[in-house]
């Protein structure tokens, strides 16, 4: 009787040991995969941040007034020779006209 009880305890202990070992292996494997995915996403985030910085720099360069003036000259625009005058100062929207004097 005592022998039978010890055998059951031994078998239960072995089963518990195997289940615990398998659980540990599965959890460690899952965490390793998540860690690799996190590292990959972190690298992608850094690349995207670099791209955003480059785009912000390019935006500021392209919106620079001197750059716009140079592009306008390249497209054939010339300096204005006349004076601008305001036609109606009381109007809600001011309209400008070039005086040809």
Range of the structural domain that residue 33 is part of: 2-99
pLDDT single digits (tens) 55-69? 999 888 888 888 888
In 3D space, the residue among 85, 23, 90, 88 whose CA is nearest the CA of residue 98 turns out to be 85
Beta bridge partners of 97: 85
- The angle formed by the CA atoms of residues 29, 32 and 36, to the nearest 5 degrees, is 140
Q: What is the pTM of this model?
A: 0.46
Start-to-end C-alpha separation, the chain: 123
Number of domains in the chain: 1
- State how beta strands 96-99 and 83-86 pair: antiparallel
- What backbone torsions phi and psi does residue 84 show, to the nearest 5 degrees? -90, 135
pLDDT single digits (tens) 3-52? 888 899 999 999 999 999 999 988 888 888 788 888 899 999 999 999 99
């Amino acid at each position: 009787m005592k022998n039978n009880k010890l055998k059951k305890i031994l078998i239960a202990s072995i089963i518990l040991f195997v289940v615990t070992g398998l659980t540990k292996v599965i959890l460690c494997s899952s965490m390793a995969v998540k860690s690799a995915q996190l590292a990959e996403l972190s690298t992608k985030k850094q690349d995207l941040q670099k791209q955003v910085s480059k785009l912000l720099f390019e935006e500021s360069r392209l919106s620079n007034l001197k750059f716009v003036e140079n592009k306008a000259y390249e497209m054939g625009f010339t300096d204005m020779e006349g004076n601008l005058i305001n036609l109606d100062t009381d109007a809600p929207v001011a309209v400008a006209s070039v005086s040809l004097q």
